[in-house]
Amino acid sequence: MDKWNGSLVAEFVLLGLSQDRQVQIYLFLVFLVIYMTTLFGNVILITACVTEPRLHTPMYFFLVNLSFLDICYSTVIVPNVLVHFLASRKSMSFSACAAQMYAFMLLGCTEGILLAAMSFDRYVAISSPLRYNVIMSKSVCVALAVFCWLSGTVMGTLDTVFTLVLPFCSQNVIDHFFCESTALLKLACADTHITETVMFYVAIYVLLIPTSIIILSYLRILVAILGIRTAAGRYKAFSTCGSHLIVVTMFYGTAIFMYMKPASQKSDYLDKMVSVFYTVSPPLLNPMIYSLRNKDVKMAMQKVAARRLIL
């Protein structure tokens, strides 16, 4: 039997987004298109940023990290969801569920902190354009990226370990479409107060603190933009930051709603719907948002696509 710290549960059964067979087939097609579009968009964006010399700047260095994160983030969740849409029994072994939860938390926490680093980069670019390359040097960018990944690893480990040490005695049906820690807490046959407290402080570190940094950065950015004399300059500055702000609002808004609301206000159906927005939507929309609002990225992506078609 597959065990973890004495758990009596060998596998979990996931109810998914719907139990209607026709709806499941429809959702399979929708999620398949979303996943393929996500992979294509992020791979093209990474290739464009790596191969185009004009995009070898701190902003695009962080964007490559974000796209790589999104590919992994989506791959951890969506392929398994696709299999379950077609399977008659939607089950995962305890080990597979634990691995998915850990990977999801690690990548999600890393992305939360990375978005804050990207907002700091935009603040420096607009408030100190002449010193931008000095402040955001290659070593600083690499250090920030390493910090994001290490922080995500630590926070993801804490959240996963404190969830999986709980005993799951007999209940093994998860009313969700993937193994998420908040869904598993409902199945534990022990007091979950300590685990919920740990999860709350993890959420503060990867959601509230980065959100505060982003808000402060954008307030300073707004002041800097208002100080730009030309309308064209102000428009360019707003356009540069607008795409990042859209991504931030979508990711943090739904994640904070999910992880920081009181347990008494949790709803299984609503939680599943909200989870779609911060697990499936950001990896899909990030390449579109950044490319459609940036001429340099669009030109580089067109070059990459043209080379692929020629080959």
Q: What pLDDT, on the 0 to 100 scale, is given for residue 236?
A: 64
Q: Is the pLDDT of residue 189 over 70?
A: yes
Is residue 26 within 8 Å of residue 113, measured between CB atoms?
no
What is this structure's pTM? 0.85
pLDDT value of position 211: 87
Q: Tokens in use for 205?
A: 């570190």
Residue 309 has pLDDT above 80, yes or no: no
Stronger pLDDT, 279 or 33, i.e. the higher one: 33
Tell me: pLDDT of 61 over 50.
Answer: yes
Give the containing element (helix H, strand E) for 75. helix 58-86
Q: Give the tens place of pLDDT for each residue, 287-303.
A: 877 766 667 777 776 77
Where do the domains of the chain lie, and which CATH numbers do they carry? Answer: 14-310 (1.20.1070.10)
Tell me the pLDDT tens digit for each residue of 114-157.
989 988 888 888 888 888 888 999 999 999 999 999 999 999 99
- The per-residue pLDDT for 5 is 46
Alpha-carbon span 132 to 230, nearest angstrom: 20
Q: Strand runs (DSSP E) across 140-297, as ranges?
A: 173-174
CB-count exposure of residue 78 (10 Å: 0-12, 13-18, 19+): buried
